[in-house]
A and B are shown apart, each in its own frame.
Chain A
């Protein structure tokens, strides 16, 4: 009983907070990208600087007509955005916002995160397959190939800090970081780099946004979606990206730890910084090609991850 109450108390506000933050992240991204491109960005909806823009965006998407194409597989078509969102939101259960604020402190927290987050491809694949259209189909197949290739380097990169901490529990990992793992000589940086690249690929972000590649596949698996269903995909993607930034914070940046400010604040600041860094990468590079992407994963990231893991093991033994 206790568990149920605790989950309810934590999950409802966390869900609300995450949704609000996700809405505002779109604003942040638009502003950030605009400044990077010598533009101003959202300005008129809500002074100063269009702070009501996310609300307007959401309203616009709600008001839009909901179109279900004729020949789609209706059940799967309608289910897909929810599966996608579900996978993105569920990962927040294992993220420790501070020492005590965590929905469920699983003993295999990191593993659960990875397992759940790879579920999102199910949503994408369902959307792509059920749309009964060519672009989404190609996109879904690309997405599948991509996630299969990048799951492994991502796991290999994550195992290194876990091994250093000696635990798969997210809170334990943070507690074990006397020194942030990203500052750990050699191993820390290599695994952070692999984590970042593989994470970007798993979230379909530029330069790895092959499944969405709108100059080739128009909008990937979301081509046939409109209105709120499309918004769900969009929100889920951002939520997922934010979760990934959170995971990066937990694994490499010392989680909630920090002087003066309370834990959740530090967690938020670090996650946001990581998120902005990801945006910075996104708005700077052009896209890779699918074969290059897979080659990069199997021929470079995978061996690098294995070597990094070996090195980590060596360090632990020598200690």
Chain B
């Protein structure tokens, strides 16, 4: 059977597969791309390769037991997954949280935010510059800093990626004695390193040419797709749950919400860079202001069935590095959730990809996909 592949303009059309095994597919993501020469005519994204049924799992195990599983959802910033569930259960059950625990939660969340944005920066440049080029250099620089940061988290909680730190009513680990010193050394060093990254990329006209006016996501479209986090802020909407609906003790800290203007790839990159600086600012304020006191208002884990949320339903969300990360919890008074729905930011951000890629070039695919910073544990749940 002869297939007609010549388009109206006389170009031959080609379906190209990108992923699930592809050097630039973040995690496992498959895109079928119809190209006409270098121009993209149509994109069909396929997700679900990493589907693990996290939501259903949440309905089968006790809430306490679900916490470490939730860590694996968005594996680059585990704390921002634990946070909303803890907030939801605490609000529903009326559990108080000591102030020190709130501070520790904020510190851990901001540390994870920096770690996650460093991964974004590294992989984004890796996509743009290739495994045998300048991209790798920046990738390794960012991972060098991330390593130092994860070391601090490991010293604190015992685990690098999945700390399982937050419990209902507080946190599970107190700080270790030299934490202040370690963190301050890291922050001093890290501020210089941010300058270095910006020096490497911000003055690089090749990088600017690749990112500016590429993959423009207008305000209305971003809102229409339900984007949040740096993707939404890159489009110029000043929406950050830490300011819009201050949870925990975020209203005690001074920080700004960086926004972009055009909503292009460069703006999303810039917003994340600025956010790292703001996180450093929050961390500096937080580490100086940790109050004395207990870290938990109840023993975190005694028997799994001990933690019960009274019947009711609640939605609570936090600002994860990728956007609004929310948990919708319906409880019927048993220790297991009746229904649990995760509102994961990556999924909504990624849904804009057919819109963004239409009319772009093949080379833009990687830049645009990288700038959305999806984590596929988060998209597929």
State yes or no: do A and B touch (Cβ within 8 Å): yes
Partner of A138, one of B209, B210, B362, B364: B362
The answer to whether A282 and B24 touch across the interface, beta carbons within 8 angstroms, is: no
Most chain A beta carbons < 10 A, residue from B23, B125, B204: B23
Complex CA distance for A85 and B96, rounded to whole angstroms: 72
The answer to whether A289 and B210 touch across the interface, beta carbons within 8 angstroms, is: yes
Complex CA distance for A33 and B23, rounded to whole angstroms: 20
The answer to whether B134 and A214 touch across the interface, beta carbons within 8 angstroms, is: no
The answer to whether A284 and B364 touch across the interface, beta carbons within 8 angstroms, is: no
A residues near B125, Cβ cutoff 8 Å: 286
The answer to whether A215 and B24 touch across the interface, beta carbons within 8 angstroms, is: yes
**Shortest CB distance A36–B (Å):** 6
**Shortest CB distance B209–A (Å):** 5
A residues near B129, Cβ cutoff 8 Å: 206-207, 285-287
Partner of B128, one of A212, A217, A286, A290: A286
A residues near B140, Cβ cutoff 8 Å: 37-39
B residues near A33, Cβ cutoff 8 Å: 136-137
A residues near B134, Cβ cutoff 8 Å: 206-207, 282-286
**Shortest CB distance B31–A (Å):** 12
**Shortest CB distance B88–A (Å):** 39
The answer to whether B206 and A207 touch across the interface, beta carbons within 8 angstroms, is: yes
Q: Does B166 contact A (CB under 8 A)?
A: no
A residues near B204, Cβ cutoff 8 Å: 285-286
Residue of B nearest to A284 (CB): B134
- In the complex, per-residue mask of B124-168: 1 if CB is within 8 Å of any chain A CB, else 0: 011111111111110011001000000000000000000000000
Complex CA distance for A198 and B148, rounded to whole angstroms: 40
Residue of A nearest to B370 (CB): A215
The answer to whether A292 and B209 touch across the interface, beta carbons within 8 angstroms, is: yes
A residues near B362, Cβ cutoff 8 Å: 138, 216-217
Q: What band does the interface of chain B fall in when counting residues whose beta carbon is under 8 Å from A?
A: 35 or more
Q: Does B52 contact A (CB under 8 A)?
A: no
- In the complex, per-residue mask of A281-311: 1 if CB is within 8 Å of any chain B CB, else 0: 0111111111110000000000000000000
- In the complex, per-residue mask of B17-38: 1 if CB is within 8 Å of any chain A CB, else 0: 0000011100000000001001
Q: Does B361 contact A (CB under 8 A)?
A: yes
- In the complex, per-residue mask of A270-289: 1 if CB is within 8 Å of any chain B CB, else 0: 00000000000011111111
The answer to whether A209 and B14 touch across the interface, beta carbons within 8 angstroms, is: no
- In the complex, per-residue mask of A102-140: 1 if CB is within 8 Å of any chain B CB, else 0: 000000000000000000000000000000001101100
B residues near A39, Cβ cutoff 8 Å: 140
The answer to whether A288 and B210 touch across the interface, beta carbons within 8 angstroms, is: yes
Complex CA distance for A116 and B211, rounded to whole angstroms: 36
A residues near B16, Cβ cutoff 8 Å: 134-135, 138
Given A288-B209, A288-B210, A215 and B127 touching (CB < 8 A)? yes
Residue of B nearest to A134 (CB): B16
The answer to whether A286 and B38 touch across the interface, beta carbons within 8 angstroms, is: no
The answer to whether B361 and A290 touch across the interface, beta carbons within 8 angstroms, is: yes
B residues near A216, Cβ cutoff 8 Å: 24, 362-363, 365-366
Q: Does A213 contact B (CB under 8 A)?
A: yes
The answer to whether B23 and A218 touch across the interface, beta carbons within 8 angstroms, is: yes
Q: Does B173 contact A (CB under 8 A)?
A: no
A residues near B136, Cβ cutoff 8 Å: 33, 37, 283
Most chain A beta carbons < 10 A, residue from B24, B134, B207: B134
Complex CA distance for A286 and B135, rounded to whole angstroms: 6
Residue of A nearest to B129 (CB): A286
Given A37-B136, A289-B209, A289-B210, A215 and B364 touching (CB < 8 A)? no
Given A37-B141, A216-B362, A290-B363, A206 and B14 touching (CB < 8 A)? no
The answer to whether B209 and A215 touch across the interface, beta carbons within 8 angstroms, is: no
Complex CA distance for A210 and B361, rounded to whole angstroms: 13
Most chain B beta carbons < 10 A, residue from A37, A207, A216, A284: A216
B residues near A287, Cβ cutoff 8 Å: 128-130, 133, 135, 206, 210, 363
Partner of A215, one of B144, B200, B361, B366: B366
The answer to whether B206 and A214 touch across the interface, beta carbons within 8 angstroms, is: no
The answer to whether B133 and A209 touch across the interface, beta carbons within 8 angstroms, is: yes
**Shortest CB distance B327–A (Å):** 34
Interface residues of B in 209-226 (CB under 8 A from A): 209-210
Partner of B133, one of A38, A285, A289, A290: A285
Partner of A214, one of B14, B130, B207: B130
Given A134-B14, A216-B362, A283 and B133 touching (CB < 8 A)? yes
The answer to whether B130 and A209 touch across the interface, beta carbons within 8 angstroms, is: yes
Given A215-B131, A291-B38, A283 and B364 touching (CB < 8 A)? no
- In the complex, per-residue mask of A194-227: 1 if CB is within 8 Å of any chain B CB, else 0: 0000000000001101101111111000000000
The answer to whether B137 and A284 touch across the interface, beta carbons within 8 angstroms, is: yes
A residues near B131, Cβ cutoff 8 Å: 214-215
The answer to whether B206 and A288 touch across the interface, beta carbons within 8 angstroms, is: yes
Complex CA distance for A212 and B133, rounded to whole angstroms: 11
The answer to whether B206 and A285 touch across the interface, beta carbons within 8 angstroms, is: yes
Using CB atoms and an 8 Å cutoff, list the residues of chain A in contact with chain B.
33, 36-39, 134-135, 137-138, 142, 206-207, 209-210, 212-218, 282-292
A–B pairs, 6, beta carbons within 8 Å: A138-B38, A284-B137, A285-B204, A287-B135, A289-B209, A292-B209
Known: A206-B134, A283-B136, A292-B209. 7 other contacts (CB 8 A): A37-B140, A134-B14, A218-B22, A282-B134, A286-B129, A286-B130, A287-B133
Using CB atoms and an 8 Å cutoff, list the residues of chain B in contact with chain A.
14, 16, 22-24, 35, 38, 125-137, 140-141, 144, 200, 204, 206-207, 209-210, 361-366
Pairs A-B, 8 closest by C-beta atoms: A206-B133, A286-B129, A215-B24, A37-B140, A289-B363, A285-B134, A286-B128, A215-B127
